[in-house]
Amino acid sequence: MARMDVVDYQIFGAEMQYVEIELDPDEAAVAEAGGMMFMENGIEMETVFGDGSQQQKSGFMGALLGAGKRLLTGESLFMTIFINRGSGKKKVAFASPYPGKIIAMDLRELGGQIVCQKDSFLCAAKGVSVGIAFQRKLGVGLFGGEGFIMQKLEGDGLAFVHAGGTLSERNLAPGEMLRVDTGCIVAMQPSVTYDIEYVGKIKSALFSGEGFFYATLQGPGKIWLQSLPLSRLASRLYSAMPGAGRGREEGSLLGGLGGLLDGNN
């Protein structure tokens, strides 16, 4: 197993947070491209295939496999490693992509593994593996909304995950079930069973605005939920744009009128 770097950190802010990580000489952090806020002189950036941990395990082919797994989740083939090449402690910071909270997860205390939404991972200590987690049931893949492929964080180091809006942490007892919107899932322990359930009443599905399917999470295990998924935020912003929805409706109306006029000629 790759060696996990032990890092010190501090989270700043309330709604628009960022995490500041302090690296000792030769310590490193790994992050998605575009997440860095600032870094002090002495820290160097390296772009690697996959999540970087694969290169230490099995060379180029392992790195290529890790990159392929990331491609399946819709993420970039590459990740960025920030290494302290200086002689003393240096700091690097990573910012939230939209309003919410940054969660520091010690994978050692959480059993060595966490399953999370593919867009919630922010950064981690180098050596934490960022892979994929296939859901066992077909219904999740067909109707999950967020897709049946989620990210799997493995290791015994620190990982930082972002939750949109307000964060809710819950411990599900064995057999305890919670129904949630698929986009509101941030992360969960692998012991939690994740499936998709059908909304039986057609009328409630049509007029409640919640769609026909929602996620069911069954314990035991810990789950993290967010009140503002990125998909919901983007949808509301788009619908509020002047002419965004009206343009499609007007286009359909004009198209229909055009066809009617052509038929009369």
Residue 252, token pair as written in the block: 């359909």
Mean pLDDT for the stretch of residues 182-208: 75
Residue with tokens 């205390």: 109
The confidence band for 188, taking pLDDT boundaries of 50, 70 and 90, is very high
Q: Which helix (H) or strand (E) holds 232?
A: helix 230-240
Mean pLDDT for the stretch of residues 94-106: 91
Cβ atoms of 72 and 151 closer than 8 Å: no
pLDDT for 100 beyond 50 = yes
Structural domains of the chain, ranges and CATH numbers in brackets: 8-242 (3.60.160.10)
In order of 89, 248, 257, the CA distances from 254 in angstroms are 64, 10, 5
**DSSP letters for 9-42:** EEEE-SSS-EEEEEE-TT-EEEE-TT-EEEE-TT
- Write the burial class of residue 187 (CB in 10 Å: 0-12 exposed, 13-18 middle, 19+ buried): buried
Predicted confidence at residue 202, as pLDDT, reads 57
Mean pLDDT for the stretch of residues 23-28: 92
Dihedral angle, C-alpha 82, 111, 223, 63, nearest 10 °: 40
User: Alpha-carbon distance 169 to 172, whole Å?
Assistant: 10
The least confident of 111-125, 145-159, 223-237, 245-259 is: 245-259
User: Alpha-carbon distance 23 to 89, whole Å?
Assistant: 6
Distance of CA 137 to the CA centre of its chain: 20
pLDDT above 70 covers a percentage of the chain that reads 65
- Write the burial class of residue 98 (CB in 10 Å: 0-12 exposed, 13-18 middle, 19+ buried): middle
Predicted confidence at residue 117, as pLDDT, reads 84
Which one is predicted more confidently, 15 or 60?
A: 15
DSSP-derived letter for residue 184 is G
The least confident of 57-66, 130-139, 183-192 is: 57-66
Which one is predicted more confidently, 62 or 159?
A: 159
Predicted confidence at residue 119, as pLDDT, reads 79
pLDDT for 46 beyond 50 = yes
- CB count, 10 Å around CB of 184? 21
The confidence band for 237, taking pLDDT boundaries of 50, 70 and 90, is confident
The confidence band for 149, taking pLDDT boundaries of 50, 70 and 90, is low
Mean pLDDT for the stretch of residues 202-212: 54
Strand partners, 153: 114, 130
Predicted confidence at residue 249, as pLDDT, reads 47
Predicted confidence at residue 146, as pLDDT, reads 44
The confidence band for 10, taking pLDDT boundaries of 50, 70 and 90, is very high
pLDDT for 25 beyond 50 = yes
Mean pLDDT for the stretch of residues 111-129: 87
Name the average pLDDT for the chain: 75
**DSSP letters for 118-173:** TTTEEEEETT-EEEEEE-SSHHHHHH-SS-SEEEEEESSSEEEEEEESSEEEEEEP
Q: How do 149-154 and 177-180 pair as beta strands? A: unpaired
The confidence band for 172, taking pLDDT boundaries of 50, 70 and 90, is very high
In order of 68, 119, 158, 222, 242, the CA distances from 122 in angstroms are 19, 8, 11, 20, 32
pLDDT for 18 beyond 50 = yes
